[in-house]
Amino acid sequence: MATVFSLIMEGELPAAIVHEDDLCAVIMAKDPLAEGHALVVPRAEIDHWIEVDDDLLAHLMAVARRVGAAQQRAFGAARIGVIVAGYEVPHVHVHVIPTSSMAELNFANASPDAPLEALERAARLIRDDLEPMS
């Protein structure tokens, strides 16, 4: 059965998408911890991040770094947090979160079901500042 992320990448579910390439997509979190919270998701349905091969893991982190730099510029964040938790969806995803403090990196603070329009606006801000992916 396809995961929610696969369904999004196949265009079967709505989402705000920041970036897509042959290996991954960057999707705005529907329950963000902060404005601009994005997920870097491999196209391959891999359940646990320790099962990701080295080349794909390096690509995911390189994309996360570029997205994080764009987030920092777009949202004026003090830091960009990165979390790989793996409990919400059985499909690897790297949370990339603009933050002002460590306290903001707490899933208890998630904003449930953010409006798609707000996610699209945040995605556009990131895309507008995103350096080209190689």
Beta bridge partners of 27: 17, 39
What number of other Cβ atoms are within 10 A of residue 116's Cβ?
14
The reply to whether 95 belongs to the active site is no
Give Dmax (Cα) for the chain.
Answer: 39
Which of these is catalytic: 37, 91, 93, 95?
93
For 1-134, strand residue ranges (E) read 17-20, 24-28, 38-42, 79-83, 94-99
Active-site residues, by number, are 93
